[in-house]
Structure 1
Amino acid sequence: MLNFVFKNQTEILFGKGQMSEITSRLPEQAKVLLLFGGGSIKKNGVYDQAMSALAGVDVIEFGGVEPNPTYETLMQAVTTAKEHDVNFILAVGGGSVIDGAKFVAAAYHFDGEPWDILVKGASFSDPLPIGAVLTLPATGSESNGNSVVTKKATSQKRAFSSPTVQPQFAVLDPEYTYSLPPRQVSNGVVDAFVHVIEQYLTYPVNAPLQDRFAEGILQTLITEGPKALSEPENYDVRANVMWSATMALNGLIGQGVPQDWSTHMIGHELTALYNLDHAQTLAIVLPALMYAQKEQKAEKIQQLGKRVFDINEADTAVQIDKTIKAVQDFFEAMLVKTRLTDYDLDEKAISAVVANLEKNGMTALGEHGDIDLEKAAQILGLAL
């Protein structure tokens, strides 16, 4: 097991009615920027519950944060926050809104071009504190310091991470997910699944507890994910999916183990260029990447097959191929397509993605740093 330091500062308020607890977590004389997305929270009652919980608190609203939040929109939110001298951000929505809140928090006091936080790793200080009300379980952003932002002007999707922008608290009420469209449910389950895979499917370092944690999350998602589509108002199913998505990327299962993240990096370019849903890009890339990297990942792919999918073949090659197929079949069962051609993309998209990877310095991806531009093109070719 590798050395690590682990601390998760986010207080999780899980279950029905936990929205009522948020006011007690705000600073004195709070002036809150309420950040949200396209307006679904005003249709499903979450907005009304939030405003009821914030009665007596000075609230400034900013809506319109997109799926795959854009730098352009978030800079408008920064301007609004500064104009009203806010001292706290409450993100109400899914991972995109929470990611956006982290960027706004970091940019608020930043002296310079805030895009540098994402492309140059520029340091920032005194970010605004953040709370989150989760409505779409997927990214785990509610209890980590990660943020991904897209700049429309340059077709770049870049990330930054800092514990200083990790939410102080997060409300996880499974009832808030009842009204999600099936596409968002599917995407959320696939996203959480791949988050686990990025931290699990590398090479063994004698970390059995992390492996078992990861496998437990994967098994839960495989079991409960399809039920979330067929039983949208089953509280227990929604609770299990929500908690699995949080646990997938709150830092716990990634401690002391190598991590990959090449599926995400390649997928980010597909989103930046073609506006595909984040989970759609992951479903395209991961099976092909597993096949292209099956020698490097052989031991963990076999373990994944045995422990998660109950595949037990004496022949190693058959075991590996059946496991990769099982992953692809799971994505398809969650109604997320797994081929570039399913999204009307062809060889031209491969060239464009590889060019963007080069532009963004993503030329040595994976746990071994061995996924260069040529290997990335090979992976995308397998995904056609």
Structure 2
Amino acid sequence: MNFRYQNPTLIEFGQGKISEISSLISKTKRVLVVYGGGSIKSNGVYEQVSKALSSFVWFEFGGVEPNPTVETLNKAVVFARENQVDFILAVGGGSVIDGSKYIANAFFYEGEGWDILEGKHTPTRALELGAVLTLAATGSESNTGAVITKKQTKEKRFFHSAFSYPKFAIMDPDVLKSLSQRQLANGVIDSFVHTCEQYLTYKHGLLAQDYYAEGILRALVELALSFDNRDDLWYANLMWLANQALNGLIGLGVPQDWATHYIGHELSGLYGIDHARTLAIIQPNLLRVLKEQKSEKLLQMGENVFKLENNTVDNVINTIENIYKTLGVDLKISSYTEDKDIKEKVINLLIKHGFTHFGEKGTIDSTVVGQILDKSI
């Protein structure tokens, strides 16, 4: 039980909190507001942000994609430099916040920004960053991670930077009410799998992390089962649970997996499938292939999270899969692409990106990935 923990992000959580922006950024800062497809202009968020920034010098850059591409983000870096901004305000979900982390970390780097994703450059400084969360899923508003896609090569990579912690995160659950059912379902799934990646490994005896993870999972199951009866508290709970799933706390000092994510990232990069849906497709089949390795924690999950009367490994995995089906997710890759070379392409990209032996015990290699994909296609 050995770890270091610090989370410097200030969180302003609750209805009407967007107005707090004006007190959280120095008036001397030149602010770049980064957002996605423009939904913030129809749901009232843009207006609230504009009002809060009325006494600031600020600029805007829109059009960040759901799987943010380095091609778009490099344009934002140039725009930020041209306007000499010194603070980035990300207004959106995980993709916008991840993209803003890239902009912030690439701003002072004279080389190709993709070097950060390739591990060829480690940032030593970055622009300051704040976030207004409009979609609950990734926890990116208070962690160091970011996932970026290179459209040219259909690669999806991730990076962590100590400079990527937002200075603050505004979390107003009311903004979730304008999201589609698909986006909300994705948020529940994303948060669920994030938690599982840090929980469904092997017995380790760190009780706080285990039981806190189980509490998050139980709550997310409740949200999935009450999906059609959403009230104010439903949205507030989703926003907070998504944050808690990936703010670093439940992963302290424990073994972590992330294999579902590594495989899912390649599928998302290749075929543009929603990130959460790639996770829902891959995770149950990964658990089936690795059920002996993960049996202790799966049974613990069946007992403490699902309260199964017939608590078997197979029943736990089927229960997880049924949650995703309840949320309306199609769980076959072939439903999203007609490509016949899925397995070969995914395995080759994993090898290219250095994932030859991964998972919590390093037991997932190309053969195991092939078995998982055979069940998923």
> TM-score, normalized by length of structure 2?
0.98
Q: Which amino acid aligns with 1:367?
A: E
Offset at residue 155 of structure 1 (A): 0.9
Give the superposition deviation at 1:344.
4.1
Match of 2:317 among 314, 324, 340: 324
Contact 2:134 2:175 in 1 (8 A): yes
- Residue 29 in structure 1 maps to residue 22 in structure 2: no
2:154 aligned residue: 155
Cα deviation, residue 347, structure 1: 5.0
**What displacement does 1:27 show?**
2.5
Which letter does structure 2 place at the counterpart of 1:29? Answer: T
Supply the AA of the counterpart residue of 1:271.
S
1:45: Cα distance to partner? Answer: 0.4
The percent identity for this pair of structures is 49
Match of 1:275 in 2: 272
Partner of 1:304: 301
Is contact 2:224–2:323 with CA below 8 Å preserved after alignment? no
**In structure 1, what is the equivalent of residue 333 of structure 2?**
340
In 1, the alpha carbon distance for the partners of 2:337 and 2:97 equals 30
Cα offset, 1:163, TM superposition: 2.4
Aligned partner of 2:135: which letter? L
- The separation in 2 between residues aligned to 1:325 and 1:118, in whole angstroms, is 35
Match of 2:229 among 225, 228, 231: 231
Query: SS at 2:152's partner residue?
Result: helix
The one-letter code sitting in structure 1 at the alignment partner of 2:295 is A
Any idea what SS the aligned residue of 2:34 has?
A: strand
Distance verdict in 2 for CA 1:166–1:121, change over 3 Å: farther
Q: Deviations over 1:192-243 (max 9, x none)?
A: 100000000001110111111001111111102343x4234x1111000110
Q: Partner residue of 1:249?
A: 246
Q: The residue matched to 1:22 in structure 2 has which SS?
A: helix
The yes-or-no answer on 1:293 pairing with 2:290 is: yes
2:248 alignment partner, SS class:
coil
Distance 1:204 1:264 in 2: 21
Distance 1:121 1:239 in 2: 39
Aligned-residue Cα RMSD (Å) equals 1.2
Superposed displacement of residue 50, structure 1 = 0.6
Residue 93 of structure 2 is aligned to residue 94 of structure 1: yes
Say whether 1:259 aligns with 2:256. yes
Q: Note the 1:1-384 alignment, pairs <5 A.
A: 1=1, 3-227=2-226, 229-232=227-230, 234-313=231-310, 319-345=312-338, 348-384=341-377
Displacement after TM superposition at 1:114 (Å): 1.1
Residue 238 of structure 2 aligns with an amino acid whose one-letter code is V
Q: Which amino acid aligns with 2:290?
A: Q
Return closer, same or farther for 1:376/1:345 CA change in 2, 3 Å cut-off. Answer: farther
Q: Which moved more, 1:256-265 or 1:361-370?
A: 361-370
Over 3 Å counting, the alpha-carbon distance change for 1:52 and 1:231 in structure 2 is: farther
Verify the 8 A CA contact 1:121 1:160 in the aligned structure 2.
no
Amino acid at match of 1:246: N
Structure 1 residue 179: Cα displacement:
0.5
Gaps of 5+ in 2: none
Count of aligned pairs: 377
For 2:371, give the aligned amino acid: Q
- Inter-partner Cα distance in structure 2 for 1:155 and 1:347: 17
CA shift, 1:111, in A, is 2.5
1:122 Cα deviation after fit: 1.4
CA positional deviation for 1:28 = 3.8
Alignment partners' CA distance in 2, 1:326 and 1:12: 34
CA displacement, residues 28-65 of structure 1 (integer Å, 9 cap, x when unaligned)? 41110000000000000000001011111111100000
Amino acid at match of 2:285: A
> Deviation digits for residues 270-325 of structure 1, max 9, x if unmatched?
011111000110011100000111111110011111111111437xxxx0000000
| Aligned 8 A contact 2:68 2:95 in 1 | yes
Q: Deviations over 1:131-153 (max 9, x none)?
A: 00001000000000100000001
Query: Take 1:105 and 1:218, find their aligned partners in 2: how far apart are those partners?
Result: 33
Shift of 1:342: 3.0
Q: Shift of the alpha carbon at 1:350?
A: 1.3
Once the two structures are TM-superposed, the CA of residue 353 in structure 1 deviates from its matched residue by 0.8
Give the aligned residue type for 1:57.
F
| Distance in 1, Cα, partners of 2:116 & 2:266 | 19
